[in-house]
């Protein structure tokens, strides 16, 4: 008989990722973002020292999927809550997990002034260009011409303006140290997204200022697309409006 080579473990579920059924729609990449965050937390060995902030919207359910301490903030107020938690417990690693309706609309003042102050927190920003949980309405990040339940004929820039480009905005603020936009639409970009998330957490651990990682994400249900077409749309349409890349990287220590 030919001896079989011993099996080698190639991949296992991150310990920080909960073993539970997902509530996300088929093709949604929120779950991919959760997995990346969990992998980074495990690799850095910081799970027992980490506090996540969940806002309102699809991103709120992060506390179901990540096995670390969590607090839940009012709509848009996750950066404010993260600021308070980090200031009273500076030894903790504090991050927010926010969607575009939360961060770029009702929470735009909070995210701007958190960056202005250079708070030592990590922000994970999921941009799917639409309000996912509340019915598919137009978001600040919706593309011009994009049809939503509140713009059934397509977003009209003459009346509702252009998509808000968060990375470009935040990168102009002196207090922001690391601002990057990645995507979750294919394996190569997912690897880059994980690297960015890791850098943002390492920055906080090392005392570098405010870090924001924007992730282009799919919403097939509200976009009215198949999961495959939604991933293609990110590449051909969203990434054209929201160019991927590193917008700011200042390795500044306090």
Q: Residue 99: its pLDDT value, please? A: 94
141 occurs within a structural domain: yes
41: nearest Cα among 18, 60, 66, 64: 66
145 occurs within a structural domain: yes
- Report the alpha-carbon distance of residue 119 to residue 127 in Å, rounded: 22
Q: pTM of the entire structure?
A: 0.94
Paired tokens of 93: 């690693």
8 occurs within a structural domain: no
40 occurs within a structural domain: yes
Q: Where are the alpha helices (DSSP H) in the chain?
A: 30-44, 62-65, 78-88, 100-101, 108-116, 157-160, 166-170, 187-205, 220-223, 227-233, 239-241
* CATH number of the domain bearing residue 224: 3.40.50.970
For the stretch 83-121, pLDDT in tens is 999 999 999 999 999 999 999 999 999 999 999 999 999
Which stretches in the chain have pLDDT values below 50?
253-254
20 occurs within a structural domain: no
Q: Total domain count for the chain? A: 1
Other CB atoms within a 10 A radius of the CB of residue 45 amount to: 8
18 occurs within a structural domain: no
175 occurs within a structural domain: yes
Q: Residue 1: its pLDDT value, please? A: 59
2 occurs within a structural domain: no
Domain residues for the domain of 233 are: 30-249
Decide if 212 contacts 179 (C-beta within 8 A).
yes
Q: Residue 252: its pLDDT value, please? A: 58
Q: Phi and psi at residue 163, in whole multiples of 5°?
A: -60, 140
Strand-pairing partners, residue 254, are none
């Amino acid at each position: 008989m030919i001896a079989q080579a011993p099996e080698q473990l190639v991949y296992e579920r991150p310990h920080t990722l909960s073993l539970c059924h997902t509530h996300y729609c088929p093709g949604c990449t929120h779950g991919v973002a959760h997995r990346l965050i969990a992998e980074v937390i495990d690799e850095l060995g910081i799970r027992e020292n980490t506090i996540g902030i969940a806002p309102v919207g699809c991103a709120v359910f992060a506390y179901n999927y990540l096995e670390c301490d969590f607090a839940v903030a009012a709509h848009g107020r996750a950066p404010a809550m993260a600021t308070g938690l980090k200031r009273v417990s500076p030894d903790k690693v504090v991050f927010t997990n926010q969607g575009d309706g939360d961060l770029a609309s009702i929470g735009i003042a909070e995210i701007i002034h958190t960056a202005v102050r250079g708070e030592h927190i990590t922000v994970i920003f999921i941009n799917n260009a639409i309000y996912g949980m509340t019915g598919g309405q137009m978001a600040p990040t919706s593309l011009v011409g994009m049809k939503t339940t509140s713009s059934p004929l397509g977003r009209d820039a003459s009346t509702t303006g252009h998509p808000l480009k968060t990375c470009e905005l935040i990168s102009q603020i002196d207090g922001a140290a690391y601002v990057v936009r990645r995507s979750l639409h294919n394996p190569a970009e997912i690897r880059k997204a994980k690297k960015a998330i890791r850098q943002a957490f390492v920055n906080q651990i090392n005392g570098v200022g405010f870090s924001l990682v924007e992730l282009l994400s799919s919403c097939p249900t509200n976009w009215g697309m198949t999961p495959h077409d939604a991933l293609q749309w990110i590449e051909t349409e969203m990434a054209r409006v929201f160019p991927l890349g590193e917008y700011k990287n200042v390795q500044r220590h306090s």
